[in-house]
């Protein structure tokens, strides 16, 4: 069952500021995950390294999707971007 969101939250997520905030959050998550990968590689534990890399993939995908939305907004409406 899907949860209903308030109108302001829906507008913030779809707005330029909301997308920029989401992108910033995704970037910070990727940075933190990359540190985890470096630590795992430092211990020469292949399983931990693979786990850390696999954990980064959805974060990178999320950041790419948000970036694509921001670029699409800029292309659709260049005078307000």
- Interatomic CA distance for residues 32 and 26, integer angstroms: 10
- Interatomic CA distance for residues 62 and 23, integer angstroms: 8
- Interatomic CA distance for residues 22 and 34, integer angstroms: 18
List, for residues 29-64, the tens digit of each pLDDT value: 888 888 888 898 899 888 988 888 898 888 888 888
The pLDDT assigned to 80 comes to 56
pLDDT above 60: residue 2: no
Length of the chain: 81
Could you tell me the pTM of the whole model?
Answer: 0.56
- Interatomic CA distance for residues 68 and 12, integer angstroms: 17
């Amino acid at each position: 069952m899907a949860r209903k969101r308030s109108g302001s939250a829906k507008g913030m997520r779809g707005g330029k500021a909301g997308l920029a905030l989401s992108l910033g959050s995704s970037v910070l998550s990727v940075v933190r995950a990359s540190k985890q990968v470096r630590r795992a590689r430092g211990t020469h534990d292949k399983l931990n390294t693979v786990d850390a890399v696999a954990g980064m993939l959805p974060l990178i995908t999320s950041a790419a999707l948000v970036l694509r939305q921001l670029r699409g907004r800029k292309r659709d409406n260049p005078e307000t971007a």
